[in-house]
Homo-oligomer: A and B are copies of this chain.
Amino acid sequence: MSNEPKNANVVWHQATVTRKRRQQQNNHKSVILWFTGFSGAGKSTLAHSVEEMLHQRSCRTFVLDGDNIRHGLCGDLGFSHKDRTENIRRIAEVAKLMRDAGVITLTAFISPFRSDREKVREQFSHGEFLEIYCQCPLDVCEQRDVKGIYKKARAGEVKEFTGISSPYEAPVNPELIVNTAEDRLEHCTEQVIALLSQRGVFVGR
Which residues from chain A sit less than 8 Å from chain B, CB to CB?
Answer: 1-3, 7-9, 12-17, 21-22, 25, 42, 44-46, 48-49, 51-52, 55, 58, 60-64, 68, 72-73, 90, 93-94, 96-98, 100-103, 136, 140, 143-144, 146, 180-181, 183-185, 188
Contact = CB atoms under 8 A, between A and B. Distances in A.
Nearest to A145: B3
B1 A101 contact: no
B185 A9 contact: yes
12 contacts: A1-B183, A1-B188, A3-B140, A7-B185, A9-B42, A13-B48, A13-B146, A16-B48, A60-B60, A60-B101, A62-B101, A64-B97
Given A1-B136, A15-B48, A16-B51, 16 more contacts: A1-B181, A1-B184, A3-B140, A12-B45, A12-B185, A13-B45, A14-B48, A15-B51, A22-B60, A25-B60, A60-B102, A61-B101, A64-B97, A68-B100, A72-B96, A101-B103
Nearest to A98: B101
Contacts of A2: 184
A101 B100 contact: no
B1 A58 contact: no
Contacts of A144: 3
Nearest to A186: B8
A1 B98 CA distance: 28
Nearest to A105: B101
Contact of A1 (B9, B17, B42, B73): B42
A186 B147 CA distance: 53
Most buried by B among A12, A60, A64, A93: A12
Contacts of A48: 12-17
Contacts of A25: 55, 58, 60
A7 B3 CA distance: 63
A185 B49 CA distance: 44
A180 B7 CA distance: 13
